[in-house]
Amino acid sequence: MREMWTTLASMMGIWAFSQSLLQALFPPEVRFATLKIIHRICNWFSAYCYYDITEIDGVNTNELYNAVQLYLSSSACVAGNRLSLTRGLNSSSITFGLSNNDSLIDRYDGVTVHWEHVVTPRNSQTFSWRPLPEEKRGFLLRAKKKDKSVVLGAYLDYVMDKANEIRRKNQDRLLYTNSRGGSLDSRGHPWESVPFKHPSTFETLAMDPQKKSEIMADLLDFANGESFYQRTGRAWKRGYLLYGPPGTGKSSMIAAMANFLGYDIYDLELTEVHTNSELRKLLMKTSSKSIIVIEDIDCSINLTNRKNNPSNKDSNNYSVSPPGSNGSSGEDAGNNNNNNNNNTITLSGLLNFTDGLWSCCGSERIFVFTTNHIEKLDPALLRSGRMDMHIHMSYSSFAALKILLKNYLGYDDEDVEKPMLEQLEQVIERAEMTPADISEVLIKNRRNKDKAIWELLEALKTKADSNNNAVKSRGNMTVEDEEQEKRALLVESPKEGVDDQLKEKCDEEKGGHDANDDEKVL
């Protein structure tokens, strides 16, 4: 053992003497050039290539570094023994990351790569307008040379996409609305935002399960259809029209769509938009992976059906103006636009907003229109390509009623007595009650579940009887109205607008009655 330590000490002495001799005989430039050549020779024969991804690129933050940190968080929480935990601004969950100088192996499409988080002290800083961190952080990516094209191409793109998906899931969604009068905020944006906390989901949405499944499948096909839209040459967007009576859950449907896809919502108030140019600017300032909503389009703007309005013959001149504005014809509206410095938007501007060239300035957007009266909308808004899917939000069905009972009372099918369920099923279709009306009854009695069921049944029966009576009264009124109209036409004089043909017919009938009376007298 003593001889081994003696030999080791001798070798270390020889190494120190040789190093001193080399430094004395060879200048630093020669030593640096020699090490550089040796490094290149080693790299030439090595089967691996290395890539540095630093935290700061010059004076700017490297976006790829943040993306890699987020991407590795999904694998680090499983494989890593020492993790760094972070929670970003507007984030709803904790993100895992590699600790200092820790490493991780990742696999993609048959390619194996090695990630290492490198943290080293930074040299003394010179004067700078932007102080740099005391530590120099970065990721070292090692991969085989034969996989270089895959790593620099598809793999890094996959890392960026996966990081954006994780960031979108972790961050709280935002609800945007356009600023009043088109004003800009402190950052120069025309949208104001608040955190979106609506709890509605497709699971809690009171709707027919089959229809919900169709909508969810359509949304998933859209969200995962980037390659399809590129292959077919179509803009990556989709339009939905939600129509039906008030209280049927149109706003809840929009919230469920946003929570299902993880998209932000832009609630566009058209009455605050004055020109087509302002409408385009609003569209340009929306982000991808978002839902652009125009609620109650038949109430927010004067958008009647041109088929029922013969004065509007040209859609390009047809004016879209707030309710109560002067001028109903397209020509008058166009004149008002010129006189008021283009203070109204046009139908063509709204159509270009949803289906024109400007609608393609971003990707993965969903346009949602809601209305209580679909018959009032112009056919140009309803054609395919603008509103791809029409969703009728109808009155509550029995399937929707069972969802409401589960949401508000925690009742499943077996928790409610079978005779009670049969009575509810028999009366729900005739009652024509909206989910909002049913929810009000259940919320009022949610502390007494049995009472809530009975009161709901009574409310449904009362509404059903009211509807039946209304139908009968309308039928009776129709018959009586026809009789009164005939009598009025017989009594009215020609000066009051009686048709000549109708008058001749009345005279013939009167003459026939007189002849019959004469026969009876004879």
In DSSP notation, 214-249 reads HHHHHHHHHHT-HHHHHHHT--SEEEEEEESSTTSS
What is the C-alpha separation between 250 and 248, in angstroms, rounded? 6
Q: Are residues 73 and 182 in the same domain?
A: no
What is the C-alpha separation between 322 and 473, in angstroms, rounded? 37
Whole-number pLDDT of residue 145: 86
Helix (DSSP H) and strand (DSSP E) numbers for the chain: 18, 17
The answer to whether 348 and 381 are in contact (CB under 8 A) is no
Answer whether residue 420 is part of any domain.
yes
Q: What is the mean pLDDT of residues 199-220?
A: 93
Over residues 14-69, the pLDDT tens digits come to: 888 787 877 777 777 777 777 778 777 776 777 888 888 888 766 567 888 888 88
Asked whether the predicted pLDDT for residue 498 surpasses 70, the reply is no
Over residues 346-360, the pLDDT tens digits come to: 777 788 777 767 666
Residue 91 DSSP label: B
When mean pLDDT is compared over 33-37, 380-384, 424-428, 465-469, the highest value belongs to 424-428
Angle 392-395-396 (CA atoms, 0-180°, nearest 5)? 115
Q: Are residues 227 and 186 in the same domain?
A: yes
Over residues 460-472, the pLDDT tens digits come to: 999 988 888 887 7
Q: Give the CATH number, domain containing residue 255.
A: 3.40.50.300
Q: What is the mean pLDDT of residues 269-282?
A: 84
* Closest to 370 in 3D by CA, of 271, 244, 242, 249: 242
Q: Are residues 259 and 160 in the same domain?
A: no
Answer whether residue 311 is part of any domain.
no
Number of domains in the chain: 3
Whole-number pLDDT of residue 329: 38
Q: Are residues 86 and 49 in the same domain?
A: yes
Whole-number pLDDT of residue 469: 84
Low-confidence winner among 137-141, 220-224, 507-511 (lowest mean pLDDT): 507-511
Answer whether residue 185 is part of any domain.
yes
Asked whether the predicted pLDDT for residue 261 surpasses 70, the reply is yes
Answer whether residue 339 is part of any domain.
no
Pairing of strands 95-98, 83-86: antiparallel
Q: Say whether 345 sits in a helix, a strand or coil.
A: strand
Answer whether residue 379 is part of any domain.
yes
What phi and psi, each to the nearest 5 degrees, are found at residue 65? -65, -45
Q: Are residues 301 and 208 in the same domain?
A: yes
Q: Give percent above pLDDT 70 in the chain.
A: 71
Note down the domain range covering 298.
Answer: 176-305+345-392
CA-only gyration radius of the chain, Å = 37
Answer whether residue 102 is part of any domain.
yes
Asked whether the predicted pLDDT for residue 218 surpasses 90, the reply is yes
Q: Are residues 385 and 414 in the same domain?
A: no
Q: Are residues 115 and 234 in the same domain?
A: no
Answer whether residue 1 is part of any domain.
no
Answer whether residue 38 is part of any domain.
no
Asked whether the predicted pLDDT for residue 82 surpasses 70, the reply is no
Would you state the structure tokens that stand for residue 77, as one six-digit string?
């929480």
Q: Are residues 143 and 258 in the same domain?
A: no
At which of 392, 419, 447 does a domain end? 392
Q: Are residues 167 and 184 in the same domain?
A: no
